[in-house]
Structure 1
């Protein structure tokens, strides 16, 4: 079988690292990078350090408005699909690359498989929510990571072709944690000791593009007095400069890091503060308390299990989380057994 996989952003590269090598044991895979993430530190390094097969095509779409970016992908992908004639198109997550990859395939009557299907934040102002809902409703195979994702799909009338395989990000974390310990030197380079720092990430447009939300986050981090390591996303840096915002000395700013370095920081930190969906899960995998800088989360299980609190950008709540939040429940196994990729392959074979 010829399977064409579409990726375009960092979380998708990580998921592809867990799945592509498994699929290629029995099938031909064509890997297409849309170029949605085009920064060298945020794209190429992931393929190199995770040993992801080199993309067969890089569309080089780059940044732009949602319409321009998605539309350009559709035009490029349609030509590519007609050339390659895949038997199945595989997409991940909830980015514009996900929607474009799925929509183009659906129009050409090519079966779509969606990995990480069924997630819902129930906030339709989020582009990611729109992307994941639309992708789910045109997919033939929906590989969901959790039981709640099945319920979400059922509530929308989607019951056929739904498979709970577990979370491929959990596969990746298990696979690459050992490699991170062997290869990552970031703890030594930053002169860090285990459990002495908090790890933070800020990148979502809803936080960076709004001066009040971004100011509240920065002030909370500054006023906490805690040692915080913050790999600074280019978007966050741009808006901080635009708004004339800055961090105190207790916040150590570093450049964006590769996946192995990020895993190392997550394994060794005391807590995690983030607005990233993927990092919320990784915090859970690493047994780290997580403070989520969003008004809602699609990873509701991490909250229900007591290891994640959603604080939005309320400065007082962020500060309270930093200083006082301690998980109050025994962590449950809610993301599968670390063999999601193998289960996906078994279903594709059938």
Structure 2
């Protein structure tokens, strides 16, 4: 009997920190599939912190990329254009059967554009998420990537309705679950205990003391001095009632210093740390009682872990974390944030349930589907 073969490789793309947690389980599932899916990995270098990149690849057990484009920072236009210029030669030198992209960063849309113009199918993991806010660059990346894609894998059932409203054939759409949760569940037992991380920084919460975890990095929150000052003031008010741990994004730190807001954090009950590795962040998040964030990934992870989350944005592309999970959208006004915080202190926070197919096996379903799709196309 002839061994089934996919006859060609899938070129997987990662570019920024959120991509790493999504690609890791997919690469493992490709190797373990009934008909293994040959793959190559390209890192665009959109996330340009070499030390953090190395820690993520090591901790998540991602194979070293076959190619690192080393793009680095820049405006959206410059970064997207540079990725396209450096990605095209890889497609010419090693033509793949398909290009797989994840999430909604600039690397996602840039590599999809290059691939589709060369007649190479595009596979989008985490398709169909919509916030309805086109002022967010990620929303534009999501919409355009989905329009270019031949296979669209969704994390929640409502995403299919979004895609079909935009004219995408239902036959291309596959509800598989959430690969971010695959990584979360695979790494819970490996998480670095929060106490070990706190030892590296001053004034951490006392043992067993309730604390909140804060992350801020969205340009809409940290690039406008008035918005950032107001958010910091609100966080300081909360920090005086319950300790907060704030792993500070480099962009946020630079803007706080540039706008002269660093004194605002003094004597506030906020423990500021540098960026944390994935396993460090996971350990701190597990120990936290509340998360205040503008991160999409943390909205999903807190829902999976049952931790109340206050999202410091006016909308979310992950509405299932609100309708079924532990997430509450509070925007950026002090009144709404503090009202939600007081409710948390009184009630223990919003309870939720784990959404359908957030079971740690999304990558297996993706790999099986792609394997069958490639075999059928040989």
TM tier, smaller: over 0.9
Structure 1 residue runs of 5 or longer lacking an equivalent are none
Structure 1 residues 333, 306: CA separation in 2 closer, same or farther (over 3 Å shift)? closer
1:211 matched to 2:225? The reply is yes
> Which stretches of structure 1, 4 residues or more, deviate above 6 A after TM superposition?
none
Structure 1 residues 184, 69: CA separation in 2 closer, same or farther (over 3 Å shift)? farther
1:195–1:270 CA contact under 8 A, matched in 2: no
TM-superposed CA distance for 1:187, in Å, is 4.9
What's the CA shift string for 1:55-102, capped at 9, x where partnerless? Answer: 111111000111111111111111110111001100000000000111
TM-superposed CA distance for 1:330, in Å, is 4.3
Structure 1 residues 194, 118: CA separation in 2 closer, same or farther (over 3 Å shift)? farther
- Tell me the SS of whatever aligns to 2:11: strand
TM-superposed CA distance for 1:328, in Å, is 4.5
Q: How does 1:63-142 map to 2 (within 5 A)?
A: 63-142=73-152
TM-superposed CA distance for 1:312, in Å, is 1.3
For residues 353 and 113 of structure 2, what CA distance do their matches in structure 1 show? 38
User: Partner residue of 2:365?
Assistant: 343
Q: How does 1:2-21 map to 2 (within 5 A)?
A: 2-21=9-28
User: Partner residue of 1:333?
Assistant: 355
CA RMSD of aligned residues (A): 1.7
1:198 aligns with one of 209, 212, 219: 212
1:256 aligns with one of 250, 272, 275: 275
2:308–2:351 CA contact under 8 A, matched in 1: no
Question: What is the TM-score with the length of structure 1 in the denominator?
Answer: 0.96
- Tell me the SS of whatever aligns to 1:5: strand
Larger displacement relative to structure 2 (194-203 or 118-127): 194-203
- Tell me the SS of whatever aligns to 1:175: helix
TM-superposed CA distance for 1:283, in Å, is 0.9
Structure 1 residues 322, 248: CA separation in 2 closer, same or farther (over 3 Å shift)? farther
Structure showing greater radius of gyration is 2
For residues 6 and 61 of structure 1, what CA distance do their matches in structure 2 show? 13
Structure 1 residues 330, 37: CA separation in 2 closer, same or farther (over 3 Å shift)? closer
1:290 matched to 2:301? The reply is no
1:243 matched to 2:262? The reply is no
TM-superposed CA distance for 1:160, in Å, is 2.8
For residues 304 and 183 of structure 1, what CA distance do their matches in structure 2 show? 29
TM-superposed CA distance for 1:21, in Å, is 1.6
For residues 331 and 46 of structure 2, what CA distance do their matches in structure 1 show? 27
What's the CA shift string for 1:129-170, capped at 9, x where partnerless? Answer: 000100001100000000111111111111231000000001
Aligned residues: 350
1:37 aligns with one of 25, 29, 47: 47
Structure 2 residue runs of 5 or longer lacking an equivalent are 1-7, 373-378
For residues 358 and 120 of structure 2, what CA distance do their matches in structure 1 show? 29
Question: What is the TM-score with the length of structure 2 in the denominator?
Answer: 0.89
Larger displacement relative to structure 2 (186-195 or 43-52): 186-195
1:161 matched to 2:172? The reply is yes
